[in-house]
Each structure stands twice: as structure tokens, then as C-alpha cells.
Structure 1
Amino acid sequence: MAWWWEDDPAYQAVVRAFVDGDPEDHAGGPLDVRAVVAMLSRESKDAFAYDDIPWDRFPCGPETRDNVARLRSADANVVYGALRGVHGELANSAWSVAALAVPFLLRVAADPDGHHRAYALELAAGIVQWTPGPGRCTRETLLRVGDGGWRYEPSAYVGTWGIEAARDAVAADADLVMALLDDPDPEVRAAAAYAGVVASGRIDDIRDALHTRFRDEADPAVRAGLVLALAQLAYVDPAPEHEAWTQALWADPAMPPAVRVSAALGWLCLTDAPVPDDLRAVLDACATGETAQLMKSLPWMRAVDYDGDTALQRCVLGLLHPDQAAKPVMDDPWGRPPAFA
């Protein structure tokens, strides 16, 4: 007996194109999600015209389309369920259809009257952000954006194309994302920083916007998140001055503890140099339970521990003593979503 999805026309088309044929023959064509996202006009995105996307070309497309259609509901519970639906496709490694939702996720976040705006931003970024799984925190993984390899979806679609499409979608709407760095909601500001660093272009503009926000930011948790975002950009686009900036922050006793801790974590990921004694002293003094509680809601922390409760402890142990780091807990790809209002 065939599984239900084996009778699905989209699945059959993917098998013919990517299993029986050469995927590169379809680059730029109607089955290339990167091309589909790129062809979506700014007018269609701003009008939330999700039916301008050919959802039925992609496995799980109609289901994702239905979830996107519910994102602008006046009922917060309906929006939350729709986001969970897109999250579920991502958890099932359907990067392509999740990428098709990115322009609309960003507009949900940009709507001051929208619901679960920070979750929408974090979900858009999560298509790209490489999460090593709870407990797997090392100098090589904490700030990594991608694993560098090819990914394939259960349908055999080239999942790497979906990840690239999501990065391109964020880059195309970089102005929208950067504007959200000034949003009144601190959770949205932190999520905007997390989303901005995955863009495929305009890196210098995004870095400048993050630095500007950092200088003006008053919320200590958001400031810590901005430091992690800037360190992550430096991990992707390395330069000596970026490493020096993080070092200056963690070495500055005038900086708040969470900022010094984030800068120390960032510096450790940007260099393979031996850990200096003064950095260890900073972490001993600043990586307290109070700091861990303050930082637990940051997306980078939840990538290490879904609840965030043990994230900072795991980060410090994994970065300073990788041989002593706790074994990873069960890696649940569905995870516990952020409980943003």
C-alpha cells in the first residue's frame, strides 16, 4: 500500500525532478523555491497576497498556505496555531514551504496590531539558523548560521534551496527587519536582531543598524541579544576589528553583566585562542543565576536549551570545558515554541 504522500502530485513532481533527474536542471525554474520567492512582488507581499504563490508545486504547500492565511486573524489563538503549523513543517524539515511563508511572517511582525510578532520573526529566522540541539554548545556551534552541507527534505526536495530562499527573503525585506530593531516591544527587538543576521545580503547595513540599536538600547536582555547578533555576523563575516570589539566589551567593568557575558561567549566563538584568565574571571563573576534568568528568553539561549533555564550554564561549560560538557538532552525538533504574546 502506498503512503498518502506518494499519491500527491507535488511529491511525484519532486521525485521526477530531484530523484529521477538532476536537481540543477531545475535551478531557476518553477520548482526552484528561490526563484518563486524572488518573483513575489513587494506589492503582493505588502498586500498579504499569499495566493500569488504557487503553493501546490511544493509538498505540504496547501497546508502551509492555509496556515499563512490565518496569520492575520484577530484571534491571537488562531495566529498562534498558524505559526505552530509553519513551525511544524520546519520541524519536519520542509524548509521550502516554510521559506515561502517568510515574507508574510515578517509582515505579521511589522504589524503593530499583530499577534505573536516576536514568534513570527523568530520562526522566519529559524529556517536558516542552525540549531545544534540542546546541550550541543561549543565554540564551533553556538553562533553557526548553517552546517555548510546539503540538506534534503523527506520528499527529496533540495532543502538547501529552501534555506537559501529564506535568507534571500530576509535580505529583500531588510529595511522592514531593521525598522523592527526600534519596535516598542523588547521581545520584538531581540527577535529582529536574530532575524537580521540570517540575511543573504546587506550585511554592512544590518551590522550598522545593530550597532546603532546597541548604543541606544536600555533593556539589558535586548542589549545582550544585540551583542550575540553582532558576534554571529562576525562569525559569518569575520574581521579582526569585530573580535576586538567583543573583547573590549567583556573586559569593560562598566558594562552590565549580561552584556559582558554575551561578549565573552561571542569572543570565544570568534577565536580559537586559549581562554585568558581574565575572561574566565568575568564569566565567574557575571554568569550568575540572575544573568541566566535575564538571558533565558533570547533565541540563542533556547537553541541550547528549549526552556532556556540551563542554557547559560551549558554555554559556559561547553565553551570553556568541552570535554566536561553535559551530554545533549533529547533533541526534539518540534521544541517548545516561544510563549510570546
Structure 2
Amino acid sequence: MAIDDRCPAFGDDGGGEATAIEDLPTDVLALVLRRLDGASLAALGCASSTFHDLATDPDAWRALCLALCPSVRDVVRDGDGAKGAHRQLFADAFPFPSPAVSPSSAVPRCGLPTRLVSAVDLHHRGACIMSRVVETDASGWFLGSPFRVDALVQEGFSAPTSIAPAELALSWVLIDPASGRAVNASSRRPVCVDRRWLTGEAVVRFAVVLGDVVLDAAVTCDERYGHVREVSLCMEDGEGGGVSGRDGLAVVAAAMAGARQGRGAEEAARLRYQEFVKGRTDRKKRKARREGIIDLCCSVVGAAAFLGFLLMLTFR
């Protein structure tokens, strides 16, 4: 609906004066605008000065953030000196990051984050079954270790009902408290489900590809009994190896400062992950083929040397 569309006044038969949407009371407009999604609310704010003031309402953006990620309730607050914090968080964390990021070109000007805050929310069939905030000291031993953040470890928890892995949804927002920037680290919808038939567990992956690495958020659960055992985030390269904490932080920081994608990014994230896995599998096959050829050549050379030694002994 165009912003300047007119509608007949209440009780008018069509021949009287028309009423603009801007003529509605401000509190009524504010309640209506809170039903919009983030992209629509931001677009509406560009229509006029009146809508701009309404579209920057901190309560509206706070409601949008909490609807998608309840755990940010205890992380971000709009207050003195932080006006618009939820609006900035929404702009940073809820669109998908640009995939054009690599560890070799990802060193930001302001340096690497020294602390990361993870806001993690796990939903099943629309109901939130886990909401947790995890703080990670991103210095010292973390820099030399493989990049990994655990939101849930061996103690686990049991969901109210049995779990259908394909109907899980995961929101994992990484926040740098020093800069106030954030980035979405999960695909929200599963990109694949790996079942371990011997143990009856399923590993549900919510992966985001950033250049030649992948942020792999995984949920390990027992779908029969509704037990969630592990929720973790790690980073892997194109060969399937772990990325160090230093390189991982560089990728995360560059993703925070980089561009964001628009609508349809969830499906694009799934397809990009499938291409990433296919490329990794192809590289492993080529590597195994090269190693097989090298082994064969070494075996032939060894056999030839042994035969030559036997011939030398025979005709000596």
C-alpha cells in the first residue's frame, strides 16, 4: 500500500473528505507498525519524517529482537548513551553476513575482539526450548586453539516432547561488546541432519559459509527421547580441518564489519553449504588419489630395487 493512499473517512459515503494514514493517532500508528518485520519497518521509516520518528521507536525494535532471539534481553538494553541499540543489533545480526570473507583478508583495523558474547536460542516447532547467553574470553589460549564455543555441554536437557530434527531452528548471534557490532552465526534452519544409527543421536547443522571457511553451529540430540546433549559452534576450512581461534576471530570481525544479504538468504545458505561440502569431498578424493599414486610409485620403486638386489646376488 502506498503511503499517500487515501481512504474514506469513517462514516463517510465516499463523497466527503478523505483521511490520510498519518491522521491516525500516534499511539495507534505505533501499535500497527510493531506488527511489521524489520525490513518493512526500516523501509517505512524512509517514507516521511513522521514515519521516520515512528520507525525508530526503541520499543518496536526491542520487540522485534526479542521475538527472534529472546536471549538478547539480558545482553542489549536501550538506555542512556545506548539509544537505538536494538535497532543496530537487528541491522547487524538478523540479516545473513556476506559470504565474501576469508581468513587471509579478514584482519580488521580495530584489531581482534578480546571477548565474544553468544546469544543462543533453540526453537522446536516455534516453541523456545533453550535460551542462553555465553561469554567467551577470546584471548590467551583461545587464539592458539581451534575456534569453538560451547553453549551446552554434556549435562544437556530434555525437551517437553520428542524432537523432530528437521523442525529445529537455531539463532546464534555473536556480539563484540567492545565495538557493539554483531553477526549472525547460524543458518537458522537446518542445512543437513547427520544421524548416528548406533547411538540413535542426530547432529543437526546450522552452517554459514564465509569465504573458504564455514561457521558450523551444531545441535546433538536424541530425537526419540527429546534429549539435547550438545549445542556448539566451531569453524572449519575447506579441507575439513579446524581453524585457529586467531583466524576465526579475524573472520568473525570481518563479517561483523562487512555487508549483509537480503531476503532469501536462508535457502542460499543451505545451497552454499552443500556446495562447500561437495567441494571439500572432491578435494579429499583428489588428495586420496594423489596419495594412492605416490604410494604405488614408491611400491614399484621398492620392488624394483629389491629385484635388482636379488639379481645382483644371483649373478655375482
Normalising by structure 2, we get a TM-score of: 0.30
Higher share of residues assigned helix: 1
